[in-house]
Amino acid sequence: MIVKQIWTGNSYRNFNYLIACKETGQALAIDPLDHEKCLAAAKEAGWDITQILNTHEHRDHTGGNAALVAKTGAKILAHKNAKDKIADMARGLGAGDVIKVGKTVELEALDTPGHTMSHVCLRSHTDQPALFSGDTLFNAGAGNCHNGGHPEELYKTFSEQLARLPDDTRIYPGHDYIENNLRFTLNREPDNKRAQEMLDELKGQDPSRAYVSTLKVEREINTFFRLTSPSVIAKLRESFADLPEKPDPRTVFLKLRELRNKW
């Protein structure tokens, strides 16, 4: 499996992806908003884009579909419940469905509601797994729930699915938010040394050569995976006086999501 991360350079800071089969050169494009950059990258590598995967229905993820289909004839795949929200879907996906790219690549759909209620992440079946996490999991952050989402569902997705993935899973999110998110981590957990080091290192990084984290790293720097950290809880109790000394992780997650909205 070859992964190419494409920085769009737009104000929403979207990342698009191409995933290609080494043997056949067939490729799948994830959320190809910048269809021109995706096409140019595929051409340069000698790949044919045969499938488009939308992680969810938001326009900054689906806005390149029509132009890319017109040029390549690629089939559009997305969550099965997104059928009335994404035009010309050829395949609706449910949890556990497998997507093949060429002969050598297998990707598994995870049903990951929260940012929207019809969001999929893709997990690769490779020696070192990769997760294409759309707007569910960001580097050092979690998706918002403003436009058709639900924080309780996002918590369930984090705790029941993402937190259980192997440590060495490489994380490929839908946006480059790492710098701002690390600042939020440090706002919530000022003694998080790893987050401070990473911020010092990645501040002003060139997103066209972006740092790629792993789930192990996210467990260290992403507040939404640090729900039992004593310092996260202590800081949270300054904002929410009614929070018990040992709050349940769900409550911590929901409070953090609430604070992140206002931050």
State the catalytic residues: 56, 58, 60-61, 115, 135, 175
- 3-state SS class at 207: helix
Chain-centroid distance of CA 248 in Å reads 25
Q: Hey, which residues between 143 and 172 contact Zn ion (CB under 5 A)?
A: none
In this chain, which stretch among 3-11, 14-22, 133-141, 252-260 interacts with Zn ion, using CB under 5 A? 133-141
Position among 35, 37, 58, 188 found at the interface with Zn ion (CB under 5 A): 58
- Smallest distance from the beta carbon of 118 to Zn ion, in angstroms? 11
CB of 135 or CB of 176, closer to Zn ion: 135
- Smallest distance from the beta carbon of 107 to Zn ion, in angstroms? 20
Q: Which residues of 202-225 are buried (b: 16+ CB within 10 A; e: fewer)?
A: beeeebeebeebbbebbebbbbbb
User: Should residue 135 be labelled a site residue for Zn ion when binding is judged by CB under 5 A?
Assistant: yes
Both structure tokens of 48: 């044919």
Integer Cα distance of 107 and 122 in angstroms: 6
Both structure tokens of 44: 């340069």
CB of 35 or CB of 58, closer to Zn ion: 58
CB of 58 or CB of 123, closer to Zn ion: 58
CB of 102 or CB of 143, closer to Zn ion: 143
User: Should residue 226 be labelled a site residue for Zn ion when binding is judged by CB under 5 A?
Assistant: no
Integer Cα distance of 136 and 154 in angstroms: 8
Instruction: Specify the pairing of strand 130-134 against strand 120-124.
Output: antiparallel
Print the binding letters for residues 18-57 with Zn ion: x by CB under 5 A, - otherwise: ----------------------------------------
- Residue tagged 């931050």 (tokens): 263
In this chain, which stretch among 132-140, 182-190, 210-218, 252-260 interacts with Zn ion, using CB under 5 A? 132-140
Contact 28, 107 (CB under 8 A): yes
Q: Which residues contact 213 (CB under 8 A, 6 or more apart)?
A: 139, 170, 171, 221
User: Should residue 79 be labelled a site residue for Zn ion when binding is judged by CB under 5 A?
Assistant: no
Q: Which positions touch Zn ion (CB under 5 A)?
A: 58, 135
